[in-house]
Amino acid sequence: MYQVNIINNSDSNKTNTTYTVNSRDNVILIDDQPFEWDLVEIKKNYFHIIKDNKSHIAEIIHTNREEKQVTLKIDGHKFNLKLKDKFDLLLEKLGMDQNSANQLLEIKAPMPGLILNIHVEEGQEVKRDEPIMILEAMKMENIIKSPGEGIVKKINVGIGDSVDKNSILVQF
């Protein structure tokens, strides 16, 4: 079972539609309805499709297997497809999907030390790997970087403060 989100880039409204795709007894089902078509590969990444007695030409423009994304051009119209399998949907339901993993809640001190400098302020938007502050520990300066993206809600420390390991430095 797959969930397919299709974004029509050729449409001025950029329509966004989601379908459930299954296969049962060698029949493709889209939203539990049989999908009948004739598909022939013309050459690499080019296909001739007959659906409902209409002829279509399709081209696979780009695929990203890691992110499960495909860009197609069908009859001159560009479509972006984002696929989710049953495992992606389960992780999403449990709040453990990629979007949840990238959601930043707080940054903790990785070791005890002294805050030497703070590079952000409350309300500031930060990106992944952006320097947040400098923590001195064992006579070494350690740059604490953002592990993800977020907006700084609260800075719990000031310059010159001593912190223990796992002290919450910044909240998002």
Q: What is the pLDDT of residues 77-122, one digit of tens each?
A: 999 999 999 888 887 777 666 555 555 688 999 999 999 999 999 9
- Calculate mean pLDDT across residues 38-50: 96
Which distant-in-sequence residues (6+ apart) come within 8 Å of 142 by Cβ?
Answer: 110, 111, 113, 134, 135, 136
Return the structure tokens found at 112: 């005890």
> How far, in Å, are 30, 56, 120 from residue 52 at the CA level?
15, 10, 58
Percent of the chain at pLDDT exceeding 70 = 92
pTM over 0.75: no
What domains lie within the chain, and their CATH numbers? 2-100 (2.40.128), 106-171 (2.40.50.100)
Q: What is the pLDDT of residue 15?
A: 80
Burial class (CB in 10 A: 0-12, 13-18, 19+), 136: middle
| C-alpha to C-alpha distance for 79 and 90, rounded to whole angstroms | 26
Q: What is the pLDDT of residue 88?
A: 85
| C-alpha to C-alpha distance for 167 and 162, rounded to whole angstroms | 10
